[in-house]
A and B are shown apart, each in its own frame.
Chain A
Amino acid sequence: NAGVMQNPRHLVRRRGQEARLRCSPMKGHSHVYWYRQLPEEGLKFMVYLQKENIIDESGMPKERFSAEFPKEGPSILRIQQVVRGDSAAYFCASSPRTAYNEQFFGPGTRLTVL
């Protein structure tokens, strides 16, 4: 059973470009979470999705950030018009259901904005 997969592992964008980060959850997992890790800080929750639904996006910046988890295919975190402050590691996690189950983390995508 493959683990959580994220791609690309490293992404370089210039200011103003768009960044698309992909996450394929573990087989059988229908819950996906995105976290952001800034330098010298722990991980911060961004958004929680189930298939075709956003359950909790209280950690998402109000502008330029969006997320989806379609019926088919990976979950996508999209950042429009990137700025240098968006440079961070973005981690995806998945779980089979709610009620405080363990979340399984992917290897992360390290975004660098030039």
Chain B
Amino acid sequence: AQSVTQLGSHVSVSEGALVLLRCNYSSSVPPYLFWYVQYPNQGLQLLLKYTSAATLVKGINDFEAEFKKSETSFHLTKPSAHMSDAAEYFCAVSETNNRLAFGKGNQVVVIP
């Protein structure tokens, strides 16, 4: 079965600094990978997705992620953090029947 690992439940970043959230996956088949963001008391919003096209994927709000098969990774980055980026971020891999397997999430805190 596919699975996702996200290390570090809480990530603090200074405003204007690089945001880096790590995601490693395990999959027996070519994976489809996603990053979602969840703001307090809201549902999940898709940031970006990898579906076997370009390995560098650009998403909304200047986020991007790079698929590296050799490292089984799909890390999320943003060059410059904004206060509005404070939220919880989930990496997910698509399993059989299109269901998603999520990591435990990273709670991002942006320090002014």
Binding site for B on A (CB under 8 A): 4, 31, 33, 35, 40-45, 48, 55-56, 59, 91, 93, 95, 98-108, 110
Which residue of chain A is the closest to B33 with respect to CB atoms?
A100
* B binding-site residues for A, Cβ under 8 Å: 6, 9, 32, 34, 36, 41-46, 49, 51, 90, 94-105
Knowing A41-B104, A43-B102 touch, does A108 contact B97 (C-beta < 8 A)? no
- Closest partner residue, chain A, to B97 (CB atom): A56
User: A42–B104 contact, CB under 8 A?
Assistant: yes
Given the interface pairs A42-B105, A100-B32, A107-B42, the reply to whether A55 lies near B49 with Cβ below 8 Å is no
Sample of 29 A–B contacts (CB below 8 Å): A31-B98, A33-B98, A33-B99, A35-B102, A42-B90, A42-B102, A43-B90, A44-B102, A45-B99, A48-B97, A56-B96, A56-B99, A59-B99, A91-B43, A95-B98, A100-B32, A100-B51, A101-B98, A102-B34, A102-B46, A102-B49, A103-B98, A105-B36, A105-B44, A106-B43, A107-B41, A107-B43, A108-B42, A110-B41
